Chain A
Amino acid sequence: MVFWLNQALLSFTLLVAAFSTWRMGPSFKRSKFAPPIAVLGLAGLIFLPEQPLYFEADYYRCEIISFCNDDGRESYLRVVTWSLISISTAFIGCHAIIRGSRIYSEHNLPLLTFGWIILGISWWSIAQSPWFVEAYTRLDVLAWMVAYLFGIAVTVYLFFHIIRITERLSPKDPPIEPLDEKERRLVTEMIRRNLGGGD
């Protein structure tokens, strides 16, 4: 077991868990645990421990695994850091542009300009990353990217059928009992108050 690999895996898992819990429940009452879990996951991804030293047991394991050594760890950290910068600036920029435009509220030119500057920084960060440049100039990587999309499509199709089978196998709920007199009066009163008539 190599510690920094396990920490990176656990942190990624926490990020996925935080995103999932964040999207649960009604929009006005999201999970309170999601933000701290996300922060913990992000911190775990960025602050990775050092590669094991020569007197530690993991050192020999790292010698065998090609992506575990110091160079592998540094490359991994660089990709994670640049990706986080690009993604977060893109999110902030888009949010500012939407808030600054006329569609939801009054036109706010300074906010709109700020949004475009931040979106420009996102593009700049992508251009600065040698990873993107190398990937988009290699045909084999482009082919893998397309294959990856195909893999996602196959998985979604597979799960579509699995969920359909699950729903078919699930026992049907019994028919709901009709409202009693008290419930009927309550619903009538709620509708009357909301529609504002019959005073």
Chain B
Amino acid sequence: MVKFDFTIGGIGSFGVMILIAMMFICYCFAIHLIVTWNPHHRPAIPLTASLILSIGPMFALSMEGDGTSSIGEMLEIAFLITSLGAGIIVLWMPVILALVSMQMLRVSRMRPSDDPLIEMLEN
């Protein structure tokens, strides 16, 4: 079986990972701004910026090779970027879970104080 390899598509450099992080965060931020649109928001500038920063590099990557691009190719690049982006966040999970487990250990052994307000002020 072929494993999900990070070198897929020639992605292997430090700078490209920074770019992938930027595209992934901008993609998620653009979705967030669109679905939470309300009259009290002024999301025009952040939305335009996030769309340019996510779709622009995707368009450039899809043009790599023959110099042409299509919606299908852009969707494939978007899939690759989101999969890698979410995958690397998941890769941090053991570290995050170790910190959370330590916190849970503290919570399990914690006893409520008689006066939480005084304790909070003292700490």
Q: Are A159 and B29 CB-contacts (below 8 A) given A97-B107, A102-B111, A145-B88?
A: yes
Q: Is B18 engaged at the interface, CB distance under 8 Å to the other chain?
A: yes
Per DSSP, chain B at the interface is helix
Chain A positions 54 through 74: 1 when the CB is less than 8 Å from some CB of chain B, otherwise 0: 000000010001111101101
Task: Count chain B residues whose beta carbon lies closer than 8 angstroms to a beta carbon of A.
Answer: 60
Q: Are A8 and B76 CB-contacts (below 8 A) given A134-B3, A151-B21?
A: no
Q: Is A169 engaged at the interface, CB distance under 8 Å to the other chain?
A: yes
> Can you offer 24 A-B residue contacts whose CB atoms are under 8 A?
A5-B79, A17-B32, A20-B31, A67-B80, A71-B1, A72-B4, A79-B90, A83-B90, A87-B93, A102-B110, A103-B110, A116-B104, A126-B94, A126-B97, A147-B17, A148-B18, A148-B21, A150-B18, A151-B18, A151-B25, A155-B22, A159-B29, A165-B45, A166-B42
Interface residues of A, Cβ cutoff 8 Å to B: 1-2, 5-6, 8-9, 12-13, 16-17, 20-21, 24, 61, 65-69, 71-72, 74-76, 78-79, 83, 86-87, 90, 93-94, 97-98, 100-103, 112, 115-116, 119, 122-123, 126, 130-132, 134-136, 140-141, 143-145, 147-152, 154-156, 158-159, 162-163, 165-166, 169-170
